[in-house]
A and B are shown apart, each in its own frame.
Chain A
Amino acid sequence: MTYDAVIIGAGHNGLVTAGYLARAGMKVCVVEKNDWIGGAAVSRELFPGFTYSNCSYVSSLFRPEIMRDLELPKHGLQILPYEGGAVMMEGGGHLGMFRDHDANRREFARHSPRDAEAYDRYARDVLRHCRFIRPLLLRTPPDPSSFRPRDLAELAWLGKRMFSLSEAQMYDMIRFWTMSISDFLDEYFEHPTIKAYQAVASIIGTALGPMSPGTAYVLLHHAMGDVDGNVGAWGFARGGMGSITKALAASLRAAGGEIRVGHGVKKIVVKGGRTTGVVLSNGDEISGRRVVSNMDVKRTFLGHVDEAELPGDFVKRVRAFKTRGSSGKLNIALDAAPRFTALPEGAPFMKGDLHFTDSIERMERAYDDWKAGRFSRDPFQDVMIPTMIDPTMTPPGKHFMSCFVQYAPPKIEGRDWTDADRDAFAKTCIDQIEGYAPGFRDLIRHMEVRTPRELEAEVGLTEGNIFQGELTFDQLLFNRPVPGYAQYRSPIRDLWICGSSTHPGGGVMGAPGRNAAAEILRDAKMPVKEMSDAYAIP
């Protein structure tokens, strides 16, 4: 039989695209190379009784419009907001973060009275930038070189938004998109630890340091999500991040879609400039009127399509697309909650993100190691213990700890990672935690260690880049992934891309998948049913 659409990869975006297409009446099949679904929004039980969020670990960006359109709550999705967070400082101090406005101000005031009263203006400015970007998330970027009416209308819409800003705000916006997070924060704050906490979202998953131009935008990418309208807030998916893809899969099946696991796509079949389906690693052929790849743009076109079928310039640009890996991850099953000596007993911080990097300079030095082709000797870690809130992931009293680690290069001094490198990387991270929580090591019952090597091999992320391509401004909007191909299409007729390599980029957002589905349906001249526009109020 011939499917209307074959989707390569059961990651969140692939499942979102599949869900919308199935609901619109297409016959859809998702193929997944692993024995499990989820891509980078995955929860596996690698140790009995302990469910991990093996890759992504928090949720904010996932669009509520999609949750509602695809009825994900009905299929089991629940997002739990979390509170607080803290940076532990060298010398035993700490900086906490609070959801309560005045508690946060008082906490800042312990470190800098000036910074305590600077936060409102900072938050306002970040929110202003968010409000500009958010409506773009659920729209296909215009092609500036095209004269199609839709592209012209979309460009005009974009231009109108830009010119509705005051002159001062336009300058601010352009500066913000191009500057480093370090420079941006210097305009508001003076205390190194306050700046270090705010800078975190700018380096996550990015092969840049906080002093690199372009990192301020990355902050925005992490701030423009929301939990129930609370812009910038983050939450956990109850049951781990895999709950998002499980709900997407259930929603897809309810709409008649199929998912096949265990054999990945070996080759995308191209005949006469158009695709007719895929060949799986076990030799099976699945034919489809169209193929939608949730793989990143490099993996799709440099690994699964005969390059002779592609324009040379396109291939060159795909090769040049930056997918430099920079992150690793430790997933740890704990016998009990760790005791961080710097944090006062009873503080809500343990329910939020915990860091040990207390200055921008330390963060930048961690990046220096990446540039030299080494993992950071003093890494930045984003430590979270979702089981402080989520009772479903471990037995009572036990905990799952997720440690996101920055920086880890795709190659160690130019050569592939070895198991010994991976173990040394893990030891560096654990030693750092042990320094702030004596006795921590003895609590560990099981640990999964993931370097860019594992992320590429298992999840399929080229070079282990968690965003399927860096989120710098040169790789966004109509330039993502490649100029002229930012509308989820490819040089090959009926071959589409729907992953985070496309606009608006990475994070468990679902927007690329949703936008790709919109384009596919439009191309098939099928009504775009049950697809909400971005929620927004002027």
Chain B
Amino acid sequence: MKVEPRLHFHNLLLKTPFHARTSAANLLNQWGNWSGYTTALAFGDEAMEFSAIRNAATLYDLCPMVKYRFTGPEAAACLDRLTLRAASKLSVGGVHYTAWCDDAGKLLDDGTLFRLGPEDFRLCCQERHLPWLLDSALGFDAHVREETEEVAALSLQGPCSASVLQAAGFDVSSLKPFRMATFPFGSGTLMISRTGFTGDLGYELWTTPDQALALWDHLMAAGRAWGIRPIGSNALNLARIEAGFVITNMDFIPADQAVREDRTRSPIEMALDWMIDWDKGHFNGRRALLAEQEGKTSRWAFVGLDVPGNVPATGAVIYAGKTREAGFVTAAEWLPTAKRNVALAHIERKYMKSDLWADIYALRELQYARLMLPVTVTERPFFNPARKRATPPGRF
């Protein structure tokens, strides 16, 4: 919600366009700071919220996500230069997950790129990059601007999410994953993309702030029969770990924020090298990444780990042969759907063939119990249901 710019300091945390609804629904008053916005960590029982992501339908307020708009005849070429994937190969109405690097080939951020038109893109991400994006656009006939506050966005996720949209009057039966469609809504339009951060069937809905509350009410009403409920960031975080997704500044430090030089990571080290399009021409960091790949100089590997037992390996240091430090865990949970105990971890490549151990400190009634457990590298995602991909989507 808009505040008088000179007096913004009276609201250290801004409120999103959905705040009137999220605050009414937040029975716990559990709020967190996401990029300067008041966001719900949990509305009620976190386990119920998570369960609804995998069982029914959930709403999550996406507004704080940072959004940039690229327009102009060379917007696609500019994004080819900026990001790892080929934006020019993305068709209008398509979305892809991408990432971008500095000139040293170190990750700055990851995000989703939406092609809204032949010369019109939206880039959604976690961190702020305007100077870098503007500098990367030098020499291109393209315009870049930040539009975070101009968009109100909700994530509707869960196996019943398509049914909820159908009941709300939006026919998404033919919408494939990573595609989007536009519908009339209220006095304007609503863009729906089949995207999300839960690794399940789900959609993201994009409109203008003035339509926000009407959209919330409309979806909550349409979804009542499917048990729709708002979820907070805690439940979403659990779902994204099941899906094996990374979060900037939680799983890696963006290169432009890393005070310690050795904290930066290349996309190869973060297991994002699959997205590098080597053939599209030059892009930021290409030379360094090519040298890293050809010279096999990557120092780190980002992997999923299977952890024995049911104690999450949160913050654990990983040892090779129980003695040499080999890496560290950035996220760890017992996965309620997959019924597995997993972790996301950085491991030094030279130790990848060693026997790996997690040094876990488990807090039990004010005391830490120390567990040294053998861990094994495992595939991501940890949970990958077919309903995520089915088109037309299942009814539940």
Binary interface encoding of chain A residues 264-284 relative to chain B, with 1 for a CB under 8 A from any of its CBs, else 0: 000000000000000000000
Contacts of A96 in B (CB 8 A): 9
Given contacts A102-B35, A121-B256, A124-B259, contact A114 B131 (CB under 8 A): yes
Number of A-B contacts (CB under 8 A): 64
Contacts of B309 in A (CB 8 A): none
Query: Does A372 reach chain B (CB closer than 8 Å)?
Result: no
Query: Does B353 reach chain A (CB closer than 8 Å)?
Result: no
Is the Cβ of B259 less than 8 Å from the Cβ of A128? yes
Is the Cβ of A127 less than 8 Å from the Cβ of B8? no
Query: Does A457 reach chain B (CB closer than 8 Å)?
Result: no
Query: Does B390 reach chain A (CB closer than 8 Å)?
Result: no
Cα-based distance from A504 to B203 in the complex (angstroms): 58
Which of A161-169, A237-245, A490-498, A506-514 binds B? A161-169
Contact of B6 among A131, A188, A344 (CB under 8 A): A344
Query: Does A347 reach chain B (CB closer than 8 Å)?
Result: yes
Query: Does A454 reach chain B (CB closer than 8 Å)?
Result: no
Contact of B261 among A114, A116, A166 (CB under 8 A): A166
Cα-based distance from A165 to B104 in the complex (angstroms): 15
- Chain A contributes a number of interface residues (CB within 8 A of B) equal to 31
Is the Cβ of A106 less than 8 Å from the Cβ of B131? no
Query: Does A473 reach chain B (CB closer than 8 Å)?
Result: no
Closest chain B residue to A110, Cβ basis: B5
Is the Cβ of B9 less than 8 Å from the Cβ of A107? yes
Given contacts A107-B9, A118-B131, A124-B257, contact A113 B36 (CB under 8 A): no
Is the Cβ of B259 less than 8 Å from the Cβ of A131? yes
- Chain B contributes a number of interface residues (CB within 8 A of A) equal to 26
Query: Does B10 reach chain A (CB closer than 8 Å)?
Result: yes
Cα-based distance from A363 to B8 in the complex (angstroms): 29
Is the Cβ of A107 less than 8 Å from the Cβ of B8? yes
Contacts of B128 in A (CB 8 A): 105, 116-117, 120
Cα-based distance from A285 to B8 in the complex (angstroms): 64
Contacts of A169 in B (CB 8 A): 261
Is the Cβ of B130 less than 8 Å from the Cβ of A103? no
Contacts of B282 in A (CB 8 A): none
Contacts of A124 in B (CB 8 A): 256-259
Query: Does B12 reach chain A (CB closer than 8 Å)?
Result: yes
Contacts of A166 in B (CB 8 A): 261
Contacts of A113 in B (CB 8 A): 130, 145-146
A223 CB to nearest chain B CB (Å): 13
A125 CB to nearest chain B CB (Å): 9
A229 CB to nearest chain B CB (Å): 14
Query: Does B20 reach chain A (CB closer than 8 Å)?
Result: no
Query: Does A312 reach chain B (CB closer than 8 Å)?
Result: no
Is the Cβ of B130 less than 8 Å from the Cβ of A127? no
Tell me the dominant secondary structure on chain A's binding face: helix
Query: Does A396 reach chain B (CB closer than 8 Å)?
Result: no
B310 CB to nearest chain A CB (Å): 33
Given contacts A117-B129, A124-B257, A124-B259, contact A168 B104 (CB under 8 A): yes
In the complex, which residues 167-181 of chain A have their Cβ closer than 8 Å to any Cβ of chain B? 168-169
Closest chain A residue to B133, Cβ basis: A117
Binary interface encoding of chain B residues 118-161 relative to chain A, with 1 for a CB under 8 A from any of its CBs, else 0: 00000000001111001000000000011000000000000000
Cα-based distance from A118 to B134 in the complex (angstroms): 11
Is the Cβ of A103 less than 8 Å from the Cβ of B261? no
A285 CB to nearest chain B CB (Å): 54
Is the Cβ of A165 less than 8 Å from the Cβ of B261? yes
In the complex, which residues 345-360 of chain A have their Cβ closer than 8 Å to any Cβ of chain B? 346-348
Binary interface encoding of chain B residues 253-271 relative to chain A, with 1 for a CB under 8 A from any of its CBs, else 0: 0001111110000000000
Query: Does A3 reach chain B (CB closer than 8 Å)?
Result: no
Contacts of A110 in B (CB 8 A): 5-6, 8
Cα-based distance from A165 to B259 in the complex (angstroms): 12
Binary interface encoding of chain A residues 451-471 relative to chain B, with 1 for a CB under 8 A from any of its CBs, else 0: 000000000000000000000
Is the Cβ of A344 less than 8 Å from the Cβ of B7? yes
Q: Which of A117, A120, A348 is the most central at the interface, judged by chain B CB atoms within 10 Å of its CB? A: A117
Q: Which of B7, B35, B131, B146 is the most central at the interface, judged by chain A CB atoms within 10 Å of its CB? A: B131
Contact of A127 among B10, B131, B259 (CB under 8 A): B259
In the complex, which residues 221-267 of chain B have their Cβ closer than 8 Å to any Cβ of chain A? 256-261
Closest chain B residue to A131, Cβ basis: B259
Closest chain A residue to B4, Cβ basis: A344
Contacts of A313 in B (CB 8 A): none
Cα-based distance from A138 to B259 in the complex (angstroms): 22
Is the Cβ of B146 less than 8 Å from the Cβ of A347? no
Q: Could you list 17 A-B pairs, sorted by A, with CB under 8 Å?
A: A100-B9, A100-B12, A102-B13, A102-B33, A103-B9, A106-B5, A106-B8, A110-B5, A113-B146, A114-B130, A117-B128, A117-B130, A117-B146, A118-B130, A166-B261, A168-B104, A169-B261
Please name the 10 residue pairs, one residue from A and one from B, whose CB atoms are nearest each other, closest first: A102-B36, A117-B130, A117-B128, A118-B131, A106-B8, A121-B256, A110-B5, A127-B259, A100-B12, A103-B9
Additional A-B contacts beyond A110-B8, A113-B145 (16; CB < 8 A): A98-B9, A100-B12, A102-B13, A102-B14, A102-B36, A103-B12, A106-B5, A114-B134, A117-B129, A117-B130, A117-B146, A118-B130, A121-B131, A121-B256, A128-B259, A188-B131
